[in-house]
Chains A and B, each alone.
Chain A
Amino acid sequence: MSSALSLAHEPVTGIRHGKLGMWIFLASEVMFFSGFFTAFIILRNTNLPVFAHGASELNWPLAALNTVNLIVSSLTMAMAILSLEHGNKSKFQLYMGITFLCACGFLVIKYIEYTAKFSHGIYPGTSSFFGMYFTMTGFHAIHVIGGMIPIGWMLAKSFTKRGYQDWERVEILGLYWHFVDLVWIFLFPVLYLIF
């Protein structure tokens, strides 16, 4: 019945449902990571030596590389959106491909970091610092993986015969991807750079 009636009209706010939903979801995500940062601040202030020692054991050059990695992927994501909006399919594929590779690279470096910790006998239970470290970076990595799935799907779809044209959807994904980047921008100094 609905399509014959005009009940399903244009969004009242002028913002597509999915995009509005994503902004609301990101607000929720901000609160989710805020919980972790709050816990980190409280624990750090009450266990300063443990936290300073823990942070000194982290590999900050690798994390710095990962920071660059994610910033580049955010840039290429924005360019992918722009390319698709202008109907430039090959550029979209190029930039989306780089974004996906950057995400893979991020996870590889994260894997190297984690395994190096495990080989030194450092686990989430080692200290409250490492409990926080593995929880925060772990949830962030899950978010990266959660972004890679639609990125890969859109990329794969654009190689099919029908192609992929819905640039607004890519834009919604881009919002999420920039948020994931932003969380890392906070995680990097808080975990790695404060001794």
Chain B
Amino acid sequence: MSADPVAPAESSAFWQSVQRAQAAVQSLYLILGSLPDAVASSENPAAALLNDEAVAREVSIRLRRHGSGAGDDNLCRWLYDTFQSNDPDLQLVVLTFTPTIAGVYLLRAISREPLAGFEAVLLALYAYETVIRGGDPETVNLPNLANPSVYHEAKAPPKKGAVELDIAVVSPALEPYGTVRSTKRARIVGVALELYYSKISSMPLSSKLAFCEFCMVWAGQDIGTKAEGERSVSGPAGIAPAPAAEHVEEEAVAAAVEAAAAGENGGKEEVGENAAAAENGGKEEDEEKAASAEADENGGKEEVGEKAASAEADENGGKEEVGEKAVAENGGKEEGEEKAAADETGGKEEVGEKAAAAENSGKEEGEEKAASAADENSGKEEGEEKAAAADENDGKEEGGEKTAAVGADENGGKDEGEAKAAATAADKNGGKEAGEVKAGRIPLPWELFQPIVRIVGHCLLGPANPEELKTTAYAVVERLHWRATHDMNPQEILATRSLLRLGKMGDDTIAEPQISTNSDDYSEEALKMNARLT
């Protein structure tokens, strides 16, 4: 919608919707505590909300925060109410957060935390889609070339009527549900994702990127295969040291390189997974992966005994490296190998986490981890702005507040206007999101897998997608394909394999059209012709 002058009847409707949007913005302000001016004073609040990155980041941080999504979560209530306002633009705003909600929800649902807030939002999306479809399944009539169509002519027109068409069901009929039963969870989230997909062309980049991140986690850890080059997303920022000093949040204890900080959040909780991965890594290529392996080893050790089961391997692999790598910086530590840099940037979640895990362990256990201890301190002294580190600590200790801290620090970054701020934030998100994960891998039945693949397909091959998204999406497709082969599900293999191959082919954007006089081949062809004929 636009602020163009409109006819009176429309204008009243228009103003109503603006008012609704303003009300929504107002209540969001109450929840978040602050809003960027661009949103607060916008003439078109809904559109401003939709496209404002700062708000999106803030909201998604809160959604990912530990303990979010409970029945008394104000933010979830806001999302629910906003969606129920039936204002299309506001609904789009809510849909922006579908990936985060679905992502956090699915990862936590397994542990049976109270997630009534998330469920309410998801059910609202589901109910909306149910009403739109009228309970009918989504079907596709498979075209048959024996019938003529708008795009082609049949050889012999059918004698009478059309040849029977096969009917395929894309999405089965929907029953209205009042609660989320666990066996229907995948379906409800799947339908919410289908709704998201239907509006995906209006979704901002950050939302799609968030979706890709969650897909990586859902699919599970890729063991034995590489993590190479998967994430070039926030590459450079990953290794760049945090530039400016910033005021440290209340619980802020230490600071560190962002990548590490982000990783900390991640690594802390995700050790099991990392460990598994690292274990293989360690096994396979001790030297190369030593940095990360070491990280996990620490992680495994530090974290939980029960999860460490698989970490032994890397422990062996990684330990000897540690001593030498007493670098004052996590980044440095990790980078003991030149490869680490690439790793770190690449596997935002994975490597970052691992490094962080190492740091944590150092902190907590005060073990031989001189390296990590060292950087912690250094970070502390420098008083770097890395509030992320703060939240990591605090998250570690309380399991709670870390996201807030991250948010703060993100804001900090923004204020500074550092070019890196965005990337930093992204990094953090990556790490943090992984951080929420206990066991990342979730069951992906077809009803969930299908909408996921469709969305990822859009991210990979949709029109006018930025390179960043494509790279990420390609990594996701790789991961999903890996998952499909692991489950040996033929249908999933077919779908992801196609996407994988298409991703490799690169897009066929329009070839640089030549101007007519620019065709050498013609002349050569003509000459050949000449030669042949005369």
Do they bind each other? no
Name A's B-contacting residues (CB within 8 A). none
